[in-house]
Amino acid sequence: MSHYDELSCLLFLDGQMESEPALELAAHVEQCQRCHRLLTALEREARLLSSTLTDVVEHPAPLTETPRLHPAFPLGTWIAVFCLTAIGGFAFWAWVAAPWLQMIAGAGWNLRELFGGALFESVFISSWNVWGEALRTFASGALLAVAFPLIWRRYRLAPARRGWGVAALALVALLAPRPAMAAELHKGELYDLPAGQTLNNDLYVWAQTAIVDGAVKGDVVAFAQSLTINGTVDGDVIAFAQTLRINGTVTGSLRLFTQGTSINGTVQHGVTAFTNHIQIGRDGHVARGLTVSTAQLGVEGTVGGDILGLIADTAITGKVQGTTLIRGASLSVAPGAVLTGPVYFHGKKQPEIAAGTALAGVHYFAPPPYVSRWTTRHFYIVLMLEWGAAFLVGLGLLLLLPGTVNRVIGEAESAMALLSGLITLAAVPVLAVLAGATIIGLGVGVIGLGFYVLAIYLAQVYAGLWIGTRLLGKRLRSPRAWWAPLALGLLLVQIATHLPYLGGLLAFLVVLWGLGAQASALWHSVRRATVVAA
Amino acid sequence: MSSRDESSERKQQVLAEIITRARAGQSAAWGEMYEEYAPALYRFCRHTLRNHEDAEDATAEIFLKLRQKLDQYDAERPFSPWLYRLAANHCYDLLRRRNRQGPAVDDFDTLPAKETDPNQLDRLVLEQRSDRVRQGLEGLGERARMALMLRYYCELSYDDIAEALQVPRAYVGVVLLRARQQLREELEKGSGA
């Protein structure tokens, strides 16, 4: 007697057989003990599977304890939370933060200046208010852009209410204080401020060729192929240009991002330049210091302060009244040049100082002979210390936040981690600066940057853990068993990121990868929280 | 009509009403739906993904997808299979992302030549306890495990399983049988046979 195979019996049990063959099988089973036993065993196996799979395994806390999606809190709750937060914030400021800041200020540090003023007021641009307003407006806009869809989704406003919502937003937009745009804007192929004309405002110009023959009583910000200032600028000049010529007078500072710059006029403050070549002509006069990163610097005129720079080739024939500190390939000082301050030159070639030059002193620093780090004992000690520190941090993470570690490692599986790492690496500092544009946001920005730096450090720990778990066993069950993968993975990361030539690139990739995994894990947690709380 | 049918019909009506309210954007309805389906979905994800944290995340993400896709649900058809198909697709994507090559793909055309001895199978089944079977399931390939979940936990039809696993309808039986045979091998290994 022939028997039915297992597949036929399974299809019969699952009701997947046509009626005729099903009847035949049923008839056969009544007479065939073997097929009957097979059918019974298969049915029993199916029941065992069903009961096993429907057995409770474990309930995640959020599902058992807070399964209900609460409707939105009533308005009163939000107001109470806001008031309590405000009171708490004020108390924190009055009793903790302010005395602390005062103590720091007493020790000679001014935090506001450190984080805000120094960045924008004294170093970059004097008309800080315009930039501050612009940043604040941008930050508010960005917040609104993020908040609006969230609010929209959360409340899913009924059509009738939507109208009111849009009207309210429009009203807020109308009533919101606008930044006073104290500036003159020009866009076109050619911009020319004729001689004899005075512009009593800041000047923002986008042009192929921009010429200022007249006077500007304010800052000049220019994006131009060629910018020439023959007149007077009573403020700073910030230029993004291919060629910049200063033949007139700038009473403030020069901040330059240019291909080539020549200064034949007067700059009454300092010059900061990222440029290919910069020439201070015979009639050129920079009253204060010159801070540059350039391929070529020529000084025929006068620099009233220090010269600090990364400069490939420097030629000085004029006067430098401060210290000259240059790191580069060559430095030549021609006869007749006057360097009142000392000269410090770091480079491969000895500086060429012509006889008859008035010099306060020349200090030459030759680069130390190349010694591979891998041949020094110091390198291995540092490597082990770094490894040990990262290992301890990793162990701490595993003990304190095993769930988070697991999530981050899970995210590291995806190649998308690299992309999100790149985005996070670039976006967080920008967002922190934007947040810092408001006084309230300053703290948020600084704290955000703190977490950012921490996350960059932790990137190696997560990358090491991932590599270790891959090598010693995928997805170990207990985080306690992770110390060995952590140790091995971190060691490999340390070695890889210190390799000659490739090390830098690998370190960058490790940062992108680890940072991206953390960002993705955070993003998914937030999304999860949104679903549970929405 | 039996009382069981009446209760099932009543349940369907309540569910239909919840879905209607959820579609209208009522948060309370989403809460009820979450209460009703989250534990079952979590269990599905837990078995499929074999990891508590991933299962928690996946459950939440499936609900997020459900919010986006509820409008596509055809109210004339049963809700659970549709939801489990959504869950299966999501877990399948996760597994695919986890293993770059995607979950191991079986060769549908071949089944082990070994003939099953009904007595031996019966003995094996009678010997097993739930925890042993659960352990055995952990040792299965991803698709085999998911196939068993869809059939014996979600009680999906062969059509729904075919759609969820992205295999031809005619091969669903083969996939299920192969999964059960693999499970038996795991159980035999475990009992030292």
- Mean pLDDT confidence for A162-181: 55
- From A365, A394, A410, give the residue that closes a domain: A365
Whole-number average pLDDT of chain A? 78
Let me know if residue B89 belongs to a domain.
Answer: yes
> Based on the domain organization, do B136 and B174 belong to the same domain?
yes
Contacts of A62 in chain B (CB under 8 A): 56
Q: Write out the two tokens for A410.
A: 């899970």
The reported pLDDT for the residue numbered A2 is: 79
Let me know if residue A123 belongs to a domain.
Answer: no
Chain A closest-CA separation from residue B39 CA (Å):
7
Let me know if residue B152 belongs to a domain.
Answer: yes
Contact between chains at A64 and B42 (C-beta distance less than 8 A): no
Q: Does A498 have pLDDT greater than 80?
A: yes
- Sign of the CA dihedral running A225, A226, A232, A238: positive
> Based on the domain organization, do B72 and B134 belong to the same domain?
no
- A168 Cβ contact partners less than 8 Å away, ≥ 6 residues apart: none
The reported pLDDT for the residue numbered A501 is: 81
3-state secondary structure A10-53: HHHHCCCCCHHHHHHHHHHHHHCHHHHHHHHHHHHHHHHHHHHH
Contact between chains at B121 and A41 (C-beta distance less than 8 A): yes
pLDDT tens digits, residue range A322-341?
A: 889 898 889 999 988 888 88
Q: Does A105 have pLDDT greater than 80?
A: no
Q: Write out the two tokens for A65.
A: 């304890």
- Mean pLDDT confidence for A346-372: 81
> Based on the domain organization, do A207 and A351 belong to the same domain?
yes
> Based on the domain organization, do A421 and A494 belong to the same domain?
yes
- Mean pLDDT confidence for A490-516: 90
Residue in B closest to A52 by C-alpha: B130
Q: What's the length of chain A?
A: 534
Answer whether A66 touches B (CB < 8 Å).
no
Contacts of B61 in chain A (CB under 8 A): 524, 527-528, 531
Name the domain count of chain A.
5
pLDDT band at A458 (very low <50, low <70, confident <90, very high): very high
- From A310, A345, A365, give the residue that closes a domain: A365
> Based on the domain organization, do A73 and A153 belong to the same domain?
no
Q: Does A530 have pLDDT greater than 70?
A: no
Rounded Cα distance between A234 and A202, Å, is 9
- From B52, B70, B98, give the residue that closes a domain: B98
Contact between chains at A38 and B31 (C-beta distance less than 8 A): no
Helix (H, G, I), strand (E, B) or coil at B55: helix
Contact between chains at A6 and B116 (C-beta distance less than 8 A): yes
> Based on the domain organization, do A459 and A344 belong to the same domain?
no
Helix A33-54 / helix B118-127 crossing angle, nearest 10 deg: 30
Rounded Cα distance between A77 and A72, Å, is 10
> Based on the domain organization, do A191 and A321 belong to the same domain?
yes
- Give counts: helices (H), strands (E), chain A: 15, 23
Cα A485 from chain centroid?
30
Helix residue ranges per DSSP H, chain B: 3-23, 27-49, 52-69, 79-98, 118-127, 130-138, 142-148, 158-165, 172-190
Determine the residue type at B55: A
Answer whether A174 touches B (CB < 8 Å).
no
- Mean pLDDT confidence for A153-170: 56
> Based on the domain organization, do A359 and A390 belong to the same domain?
no
Contact between chains at B39 and A59 (C-beta distance less than 8 A): yes
> Based on the domain organization, do A347 and A275 belong to the same domain?
yes
- Mean pLDDT confidence for A367-393: 83
Answer whether A429 touches B (CB < 8 Å).
no
pLDDT tens digits, residue range B122-150?
A: 777 777 777 788 888 888 888 888 888 88
Q: What ipTM score was computed for the predicted complex, to two decimals?
A: 0.83
- A59 Cβ contact partners less than 8 Å away, ≥ 6 residues apart: B39, B42
Helix A402-412 / helix A439-472 crossing angle, nearest 10 deg: 70
Answer whether A156 touches B (CB < 8 Å).
yes
- Mean pLDDT confidence for A441-470: 86
- Mean pLDDT confidence for A154-181: 54
Let me know if residue A287 belongs to a domain.
Answer: yes
> Based on the domain organization, do B33 and B89 belong to the same domain?
yes
- Sign of the CA dihedral running B140, B142, B145, B151: negative
Cα A34 from chain centroid?
71
Q: Does B68 have pLDDT greater than 60?
A: yes
Let me know if residue A292 belongs to a domain.
Answer: yes
> Based on the domain organization, do A254 and A400 belong to the same domain?
no
Rounded Cα distance between B29 and A70, Å, is 10
CA angle, A532 as apex, B24 and A84 as ends, to 5°? 105
> Based on the domain organization, do A41 and A190 belong to the same domain?
no
> Based on the domain organization, do B18 and B82 belong to the same domain?
yes
pLDDT tens digits, residue range B89-121?
A: 888 888 877 765 444 455 454 555 566 777 777
- Which DSSP category does A118 fall into? I
> Based on the domain organization, do A161 and A288 belong to the same domain?
no
- Domain range for B87 is 3-98
The reported pLDDT for the residue numbered A92 is: 63
Let me know if residue B149 belongs to a domain.
Answer: yes
Rounded Cα distance between A322 and A301, Å, is 14
- Domain range for A41 is 6-54
Chain B closest-CA separation from residue A473 CA (Å):
15
Q: Does A155 have pLDDT greater than 80?
A: no
Let me know if residue B78 belongs to a domain.
Answer: yes
Helix (H, G, I), strand (E, B) or coil at A509: helix
Residue in A closest to B46 by C-alpha: A57
- Mean pLDDT confidence for B76-90: 87
Interface test with B, best of A5, A7, A34, A49 (most B CBs within 10 A): A49
pLDDT band at A201 (very low <50, low <70, confident <90, very high): confident
Q: What percent of chain B has pLDDT over 70?
A: 85
Q: What's the length of chain B?
A: 193
Q: Which of B31, B53, B148 lies closest to A69 in CB terms?
A: B31
- From A318, A343, A365, give the residue that closes a domain: A365
> Based on the domain organization, do B35 and B93 belong to the same domain?
yes
- Mean pLDDT confidence for A252-263: 91
Let me know if residue A220 belongs to a domain.
Answer: yes
Strands A352-353, A285-286: pairing is unpaired
Name the domain count of chain B.
2
More confident residue, A495 or A171: A495
> Based on the domain organization, do A132 and A218 belong to the same domain?
no
> Based on the domain organization, do A347 and A222 belong to the same domain?
yes
Weakest mean pLDDT among A88-102, A160-174, A413-427, B78-92: A160-174
- Mean pLDDT confidence for A510-534: 78
Residue in A closest to B25 by C-alpha: A156
By the 8 A CB rule, do A30 and A24 touch? no
Residue in B closest to A476 by C-alpha: B51
Rounded Cα distance between B84 and A31, Å, is 40
Contacts of B25 in chain A (CB under 8 A): 156
Let me know if residue B105 belongs to a domain.
Answer: no
